[in-house]
Chains A and B, each alone.
Chain A
Amino acid sequence: MPATNFNFMGARRMAAAVSGVLLVASVLAVAFAGLNRGLDFTGGALVEVGFAEAADLPSVREALAGAGFDNAVAQNFGAQTEVLIRVPPQAGRDQSTVGDRIMAALAATQPGVALRRSEVVGPSVGEELTEQGGIAMLVALVAVMVYIMFRFTGKFAVGAVAALAHDVVVTLGAFAVFRWTFNLAELAAVLAVIGYSLNDTIVVSDRIRENFRIVRRGKPVDIVNRSLNETLGRTLVTSLTTLLVLVALLLAGGEQIRGFATALTIGVVVGTYSSIYVSASMLLAMRVTKEDLVLPEKEAAEEVP
């Protein structure tokens, strides 16, 4: 890649507007529409069945209603021959036999039906997971912030955590807007997004810090621009290789891994953008100066006799 000289920071106000709109939209979507939480979090039962030929959904629904599952949702899953049946958690009813009863009802009326998987999760398990998942995300953000404060400075830590929070919120927002099912695997993907996006942010921050120390003259905005241009090649190549494997997962990994791969793909794209426009812009917004970065180095040098 030839040396580039894009004025990234010149567009930072527009980028801030874009990020702001994305963030507000995501927060509103999550707050009002909510995440389409899957079985892992809500509890309830899920049965995936396979047919030899294309499934007759109306007759499947009829069979379910006949067995007393009026509120069961049956839909195709990935292929015409696959049907996913979901039964919401029901207060006061023993859930542990739901899977067996559904299979019994279907086997009686649908020839050639075969169980592919069945999952029953108690409501208490789901509630705990929701809580743990939220805590895990917060712990990850705080741990990262502390580490960056230690390795860089407070301003970098704020910039990095802002970028991470931005990526997490936008990824969650996409799941809320498109009503994609959000399960434990997707939560794992969001946490992995934190890891990935951080990788990007640290590489960029590292270069900004280095350039602030080397470059004697120049406005902060120019130094940041220069750093972004210098790391642009690497940022794009790494995003590209990661996206290559994610696309492979999306296309070939099958239905069960799709949500996971989708969350990661969104996260990688947003994370690449945020490492340029969120963390770097935040640094400028906080008026990062040479002194912010040079000072700790001096102190360190003085400590060593």
Chain B
Amino acid sequence: MADRGVVGANLFGAQQAARGPLNRYPLWRYALIAGIVALGLLYAAPNLYPPDYALQVSADNATRPVDDAFLAEAAATLDAAGVAVVGAELTGRGALLRVASNDDQLRGRAALDAALNPAGDVRGFVIALNLASTTPAWLDGIGGKPMAKGLDLSGGIHFVLEVDVDSAVGKRLEDEADNIRARLREARLRYVRAGGMVREGAIRIGFNDATDRDAALALLKEDYAAPNYVTAAAEVDGRPGAVVEVDAAQVEEIEDYAIAQNMVSLRNRVDEIGVSEPLVQRLGRDRIVVDLPGVQDASEAKRILDKFANLEFHLAAKADDRPSELEEMPYEGRTRRIQRSIIVTGDRVTNAVQGYDPQTSLPQVNITLDSIGGERMHDATAPNIGHSMAIVFVEQQPVKQADGSVVLRNDRRLISVATIQAALGYSFRITGLSAREAQELALLLRAGALAAPMRIVEERTVGASLGEENIERGMYSVAAGFALVLLFMPLYYKVFGLVADLALTLNLVILVAVMSLLGATLTLPGIAGIVLTVGMAVDANVLIFSRIREELKRLPPQRAIQAGYDRAFLTILDANVTTLFVALILLSIGTGPVAGFAVTLAIGIVTSMFTAIMGSRAVVNLIYGRRRVAALAI
């Protein structure tokens, strides 16, 4: 225990009394401190340049280029709508128009949308809310950027969505059950068809006799073995049977994949809402957080996020298909029969755009699949040229149950039946559509499929006016609290109080710099965390100074300073380490605002250790170090 204390003390340059002169730091230590302070000032500086509210206009399906003439016209449109344009520039992504407030931003977007995207036409331009940096180029060049503001400060909408990961696992089981049926048929093994194969989270297959079962089991164990699957003999519906279960680790992998896929789809949808820097991140096992800064219309955002949909590509029924393998669906006024088995689902679609056939100028939809999807599409279509392929759109609708709980039901509808004209690969096109149909189909395909359904479990909207008020009040209380402490310290500790003030100011600068560098988000509780850090960071200096006062009763000034810093060190370390524990525990339970508070508190503890011990010591050494001191102003 005692040993550890000495190591800790050396780290901060105490306990040098035995060898060197009292209260002098070697030059390199001053240089180190000065360097850290300089870096702190440098990386805290971008926060002096708050970003502008802006509108980002980029061409989507537009025929005209985004150039200087376009920029001037867009600025004129905004002016006409009573929205003052603070700045306009061309960037790699299109036109950037800076405006004065969040309110102007929203009105400006409506005005530009009306002017640039006439109703009933293909959307030509995407107009997104953005925050444009005003950081000077040289600061930007060294990686300096201001802290991002949380939703409670910037205004915006926060959603938490819960993903039904169980259904992703169920879907995987259905896929595998299809494969198993095919394998069993190939091997001419008869299985019992009654009832579905996928039940209670596993594939359960019943056989008429044990011989068939054993043969099937041997076959299945080739494909469905450890580590991904557990295949075993069991009784199914009173008959000899086989059960294929997915291993827990594999289940987790399927869940992870489903969440990742849903996040990609969500990002695409959020782009449709028109937010250029949305936050989409995973929360815990089965939740996703979506933050839309600046957006105010929750119901519109929800309509777009709620379009939880998927697509399935099926082959249309062929003459020799068994009725049990087919399903019937209405399409353009008549009933069409399609195969139940799915070629690929929408989550394999990587892109879909509406275009025109270069030869005939007729509208079409160009679809790109990922490599697995392309392979499956090829295998399914190559032997079926001349047959039809159907696209089924699956939409999720919440259905209330008698007990009040909500269950999600999939509504399926046939949206396209097209003739397969060649073996299709990862890139193909659907023709024979009207321009409107092609546009809608492309949008549906592109809006992205979900690997599993999800629903909104939490929603918070912060109005722009409240956000601005929160910033104002937060900043005001930081300033007031800080000023009170700065005033108090010199009153109580005289020269040493001024030293503590300097350390405290540096602490604030370095805290802001570290938070900016780490890309931490500033929230209202985060500001409270800063205030609290200011109050508590003084503690280290108070501990040191009161110790110096005590030591002065029995030691000369130089020795008292030395002893004060040395003896207080372990106490400060103990106290701060335990507070750090608490901050980390907070970080583990909270998201959003609470996490913001915990991060600020944790960083503040570390930076205050540096400024209160090393920083203040350096200044004290500079003041009292190289001279004879009769009395201390403490």
Which residues from chain A sit less than 8 Å from chain B, CB to CB? Answer: 48, 50, 91-94, 96-97, 99-100, 114-122, 124-125, 132-133, 135-136, 139-140, 143-144, 147-148, 151, 184-185, 187-188, 191-192, 194-196, 198-199, 202-203, 206-207, 230-231, 233-234, 237-238, 240-249, 251-254, 256-257, 260-261, 264, 296-297, 300-301, 304
Contact = CB atoms under 8 A, between A and B. Distances in A.
Contacts of B482: 245
Contacts of A198: 575, 578-579, 582
Contact of A125 (B160, B488, B550): B160
A38 B593 CA distance: 15
A206 B577 CA distance: 14
B153 to A, nearest CB: 11
Interface stretch (B52-60, B122-130, B410-418, B539-547): B539-547
Contact of B458 (A120, A244, A256): A120
Contact of A140 (B546, B575, B581): B581
Interface string B462-486: 1101100110011011101110110
A95 B403 CA distance: 16
A119 B539 contact: no
Given A195-B578, A230-B550, A296-B1, A244 B542 contact: no
Given A117-B460, A264-B532, A136 B579 contact: no
A188 B585 CA distance: 10
B536 A196 contact: yes
B461 A195 contact: no
B597 interface: yes
B532 A242 contact: yes
Contacts of A245: 477, 481-482, 484-485, 531-532, 534-535
Contact of A253 (B456, B465, B473, B574): B473
Given A198-B575, A245-B532, A151 B589 contact: no
Interface string B123-158: 000000000000000000000000000001000000
Contacts of B460: 117-120
Interface in B507-560: 524-525, 528, 531-532, 534-536, 538-539, 542-543, 546, 549-550
Interface in B558-594: 570-571, 574-579, 581-583, 585-586, 588-590, 593-594
Question: What does DSSP make chain B's interface, helix, strand, loop or mixed?
Answer: helix
B169 interface: no
A261 to B, nearest CB: 7
A147 B577 contact: yes
Contacts of B532: 192, 242, 245-246, 264
B481 A249 contact: yes
B571 A206 contact: yes
Interface of B: 1-3, 152, 160, 162, 296, 298-299, 302, 398, 400, 403-406, 455-463, 465-466, 469-470, 473-474, 476-478, 480-482, 484-485, 488-489, 492, 524-525, 528, 531-532, 534-536, 538-539, 542-543, 546, 549-550, 570-571, 574-579, 581-583, 585-586, 588-590, 593-594, 597-598, 601
B505 to A, nearest CB: 14
Nearest to B588: A136
Contacts of B406: 94
A207 B481 CA distance: 29
A125 B543 contact: no
Contacts of B466: 48, 50, 116-117
Nearest to A303: B3
Contact of B461 (A119, A121, A125, A252): A119
Contacts of B403: 92
A230 B571 CA distance: 14
A188 B597 contact: yes
Contacts of B474: 253-254, 257
A185 B477 contact: no
A270 to B, nearest CB: 16
A151 B459 CA distance: 45
A233 B601 contact: no
Contact of A191 (B3, B578, B586): B586
Given A184-B594, A206-B570, A140 B481 contact: no
Contacts of A135: 589
Given A136-B585, A256-B152, A125 B458 contact: yes
B542 to A, nearest CB: 5
B594 to A, nearest CB: 5
B585 A114 contact: no
B470 A300 contact: no
Given A242-B532, A242-B535, A119 B459 contact: yes
Contacts of A248: 477-478, 480-481, 484, 531
B581 A260 contact: no
Nearest to A90: B404
Contacts of A199: 536, 539, 575-576, 578-579
Contacts of A237: 492, 538, 542, 546
A235 B158 CA distance: 41
Contacts of B585: 136, 139-140, 143, 191
A144 B578 contact: yes
B575 A143 contact: no
A118 B543 contact: no
A277 B35 CA distance: 44
Contacts of B461: 99, 115, 117-119
Contacts of B488: 240-241, 244
Contacts of B536: 196, 199, 238, 242
B2 to A, nearest CB: 6
A192 B570 contact: no
Contacts of A203: 543, 571, 575
Nearest to B537: A241
A44 to B, nearest CB: 11
B575 A132 contact: no
Contacts of B484: 244-245, 248
20 contacts: A92-B400, A97-B299, A118-B460, A119-B458, A121-B458, A143-B585, A144-B582, A147-B577, A148-B578, A188-B590, A234-B539, A237-B538, A241-B485, A241-B542, A242-B535, A242-B536, A246-B535, A248-B480, A249-B528, A296-B1
A133 B589 CA distance: 7
A230 B406 CA distance: 63
A99 to B, nearest CB: 6
B457 A147 contact: no
A238 B538 CA distance: 7
B463 A117 contact: yes
Nearest to B480: A248
Contact of A92 (B404, B457, B574): B404
A117 B298 CA distance: 11
Given A143-B585, A240-B488, 13 more contacts: A94-B398, A96-B302, A120-B459, A136-B588, A136-B589, A140-B585, A144-B578, A184-B593, A191-B582, A192-B586, A206-B570, A233-B546, A249-B481
A139 B2 CA distance: 28
A100 B299 contact: yes
B487 to A, nearest CB: 9
A208 to B, nearest CB: 12
Nearest to B398: A94
Contacts of B476: 252
A40 B186 CA distance: 56
B594 A116 contact: no
A246 B461 CA distance: 27
A15 B576 CA distance: 28
Nearest to B404: A92
Nearest to A206: B571
A25 B165 CA distance: 46
Contact of A238 (B152, B480, B542, B578): B542
Contacts of B546: 231, 233-234, 237
A115 B463 contact: yes
B299 to A, nearest CB: 5
A202 B575 contact: yes
Nearest to B572: A203
Contacts of A230: 550
B182 to A, nearest CB: 40
